[in-house]
Structure 1
Amino acid sequence: MATCTVFLFLIVFNLYAFGFEEKPLNFVQIGNKYGYKVEEIIVITEDGYILKLFHIISVKSVKTPVLLMHGITDSADTWIIRGNNSLSLTLAANGYDVWVGNCRGNKYGRKHIYLDPDSDDFWDFSFHEFGYYDLSAIIDTVLYLTGSKKINLLGHSQGNAICYVLTSTRPEYNNKINILIALAPICFLQNLQPPVSKIIEVSPKLDRIAKLLNLQEVFGDNSLIVNILRKYCRIPFIGYKTCILDLLFSLSGDDIDEFEPSFVSTFVDHFPVGTSEKDLVHFAQVSLRRKFANYDYGIQRNIEIYNLTEPMEYNLSAVNIKVALLVGANDKLSTIEDVALLRERLPNVVKYLVIPRRKMNHFDFVSGLHMEDYLFPYIFDILNTDTYTEN
């Protein structure tokens, strides 16, 4: 009993002691810190969401614009928090015209022209809207501001799924993208492992509980649970073991060498930063129904919305853009088996690569310590190959 009391005291003490951290730098401030000028551009979607788009200005930028799109509960920050070793700044340093987007619901997309972000209507979206509305508006903005006819798109995790949504539902956007470089591609979710598979199994029950509690926003940047998480994860030794070794690695695959203890504070300052409960449910439906399809509202509402009893599948055969699939052998979220299903369905896969690094997990693609060694050479090879990226 005494041991438990001492342990609880230490946790409370450390939560208090580490509770006075400075407010983390935003994307523009991080870019400035490393010597880059960054523009912040406001994008307004067709349905009224207000998103922040970042442009890293480089005097050497003469190449086709490169747009980076983040994964679930993430933001543009994921592409820059490793500083000069991050992908966005590495691309800029090599003369690429770099643009970094955000989807609605994260800390850079929590505004609307008339909806209150604390209202239920604001959070009535999933990854379908990320693709159909957000990505389309971002691409059009980049093309308008640069005068370019096409972009090169790099997506991490969900940042790939939204491209399949966009190009299958609005086929004209196939002509606006040279290539999608899909890092840790997410589409089919049929071969997940515990604990993710177990969470998905009980997701219908969790969804019912969330609706009873009227929980629309999850893992919000300023939410109580995220603030507690950030303070706890900073506790030396205990925080790293619990938050990274036990929690994050159990979900994404373990890779101690690429996620050092000193990176914990930076990581949790910028992840997670919010999405809708509906977004998580939609991905769970994709897994449970074994179909990459529209959101399932139930038979009655499906008839009202789709005039069908079941939501239609996204037509991946209509995704005509070139796609390069880069996969991690140790990725528990984007498994080799599920990416194989995606590869079979996409008509124009120009490159498929399992990264040779055996421990490559889901987050190594955006925040690994040595990305410049095991990942970036493949990305530059694709971007510099005319047969992959020519207009």
Structure 2
Amino acid sequence: MRALTLTLIFLLQYQYLSGQASNWKNACPNWLQYNFRWFLPQCFYNPDVSGEITDIVQRYKYPATEYNVTTSDGYILVQFRIGDPNGPTILVIHGIYMNPMGWTLVGKDSLAFVLAEAGYDVWLVSLRGTRYTKHESLTQADPKYWEFTPHEMGTIDLPAIIETVSTENGGKPITLLPFSMGSTCSLIYTSTMPDHVAQHNVILQVHIAPIAYMDRVSSIVGLGPYIGWSRISAQLKKSGTYYVLKPSDQSRRTATLAFLPTTANVRGFWLIMGSIFGFSCQLNPATLAATVLNGGDTISVYVMDFYVQIMQTSKFAALDYKDPAMNQEHYGSDTPPEYDLSKIDIPTTLIYALNDAMATKKNVERLHSELTTNTCLKPVPMSGFTHQDFVIAKDGRKLLYQPLADEYLIGRCPDATITNCLTNYFANLRRNENE
């Protein structure tokens, strides 16, 4: 009987890996059901696991428009617009190992749909390096294609995108809503180009999980300076590898088998992700496969270099290429510039998570202390909320997205009452196992 069961499981998994199953069950309402997902009527096929942004948006009955933005250095970036074009304009800017699709993968409670539902003109921003990027003359096989950091995203990509948005919305006010690396880019943009900010009517920035400093982060990413990342980076470039974690259809299928939740391996996934982003109590069984397998995207090795340098130097500065000629090419000087945050002259809100292992409370508070304009500093009102939860949390609408729509994005700074969830996480998991 056991052999028959194992054979059946193997055949079902092989069918999925070979792409023969168009309605393979990949989502269940709770962890225990994943063990028997092929047979349970409660489990279902979630097309968001392998869909495209426009398909997902239209499935939720919102119009979606794509815009190609060409930067001054030849990158062609696809931007996505949903919601009410007559509403207040919001630019949602993705983080590292992410693309705009990440804001659409937790169903109707995704940030993109909560904002569209609230009447906003929502632009899902795509920065260079994602699957929604091409170049006029370079291919992804060209080393030069990957020679960028948040500096170029902030000083070239965002201005070009904002100019397009300003043209399309008739010059109405623009609010920036950046996350993680997107926050880094937005801080670079607003601190180095204040005249452009004013000219294009950018009136407010609301950062979620902002990263400008990474002193003593609790994530294993913080080990980068101590495990010889500079040597690893140099070796990768020497071997012709200028990016990491580039997804493919086959890698997504393989990863589905490795990480698709079951009652047993969700603990392993929780430990892996927790060591990077903070240990979460907000994983959603029904949408985890989509958010993990379809929300990720490629990272340039130079972007990794940028963040390791921030950890090493404790300075918010552009990447030092250790080559005066390269520094001249990127910055017009032999040495990289340090970003002066006091130059930011629009209201700025910083929203952080108390259990975030990447954008830690101490580092966000340091960022806040260096901003001289009207600022708001607030935690997400749950002590167990983590870096990844800003994108995938099962209670994201209640804890963050609805307050963003109702309060923060119109310039308010509401009080937050902190609740705790971590102590009950495994208790709830065990309860599900026993049901």
Q: TM-score, normalised by structure 1?
A: 0.88
**Which of 92, 95, 105 is matched with 2:129 structurally?**
105
Distance 2:291 2:413 in 1: 36
Counterpart residue number, 2:255: 229
Whether the aligned pair in 1 keeps the contact of 2:148 and 2:300 (CA below 8 Å) is yes
Deviation at 1:168, TM superposition (A): 2.1
1:1-391 matched pairs, under 5 angstroms: 16=14, 18-19=16-17, 20=19, 24-58=50-84, 61-109=85-133, 111-175=134-198, 176-202=201-227, 203-222=229-248, 228-234=254-260, 236-237=262-263, 239-242=265-268, 244-256=269-281, 258-298=282-322, 300-301=324-325, 304-305=328-329, 310-379=335-404, 380-385=406-411
Which blocks of at least 5 consecutive residues in structure 2 are unaligned?
1-6, 23-48, 415-435
Deviation at 1:268, TM superposition (A): 2.2
Distance 1:280 1:253 in 2: 19
* Residue-by-residue CA offset, 1:301-356 (whole Å, 9 max, x unaligned): 46655576642211111111211000100000000000011011111242110122
Which blocks of at least 5 consecutive residues in structure 1 are unaligned?
1-8
* Residue-by-residue CA offset, 1:246-298 (whole Å, 9 max, x unaligned): 21111111123x11333231112223211211111111111111111111111
Q: 1:14 and 1:185, CA in 2 relative to 1: closer, same or farther beyond 3 A?
A: farther
Q: 1:189 and 1:144, CA in 2 relative to 1: closer, same or farther beyond 3 A?
A: same
Q: 1:377 and 1:89, CA in 2 relative to 1: closer, same or farther beyond 3 A?
A: closer
Distance 2:65 2:327 in 1: 44
Secondary structure of the residue aligned to 1:261 is: coil
Deviation at 1:162, TM superposition (A): 0.4
Whether the aligned pair in 2 keeps the contact of 1:325 and 1:349 (CA below 8 Å) is no
Counterpart residue number, 1:3: none
Whether the aligned pair in 2 keeps the contact of 1:107 and 1:220 (CA below 8 Å) is no
Deviation at 1:66, TM superposition (A): 0.8
Q: 1:125 and 1:381, CA in 2 relative to 1: closer, same or farther beyond 3 A?
A: same
Whether the aligned pair in 2 keeps the contact of 1:191 and 1:337 (CA below 8 Å) is no
Secondary structure of the residue aligned to 1:205 is: helix
Whether the aligned pair in 2 keeps the contact of 1:156 and 1:366 (CA below 8 Å) is no
Q: Indicate the percent of aligned positions where both proteins have the same amino acid.
A: 26
Secondary structure of the residue aligned to 1:66 is: strand
Distance 2:91 2:246 in 1: 24
Superposed CA RMSD = 2.6
Residues paired across the two proteins, number: 376
Give the stretch that moved more between structures: 12-21 or 214-223: 12-21
Q: 1:303 and 1:366, CA in 2 relative to 1: closer, same or farther beyond 3 A?
A: closer
Deviation at 1:121, TM superposition (A): 1.1
Distance 1:127 1:227 in 2: 30
Secondary structure of the residue aligned to 1:188 is: coil
Whether the aligned pair in 1 keeps the contact of 2:88 and 2:119 (CA below 8 Å) is no
Letter of the structure 2 residue corresponding to residue 368 of structure 1: A
Rg (Cα) greater in structure: 2
Letter of the structure 2 residue corresponding to residue 287 of structure 1: M
Q: 1:228 and 1:310, CA in 2 relative to 1: closer, same or farther beyond 3 A?
A: farther
Q: 1:226 and 1:345, CA in 2 relative to 1: closer, same or farther beyond 3 A?
A: farther
Secondary structure of the residue aligned to 1:99 is: strand
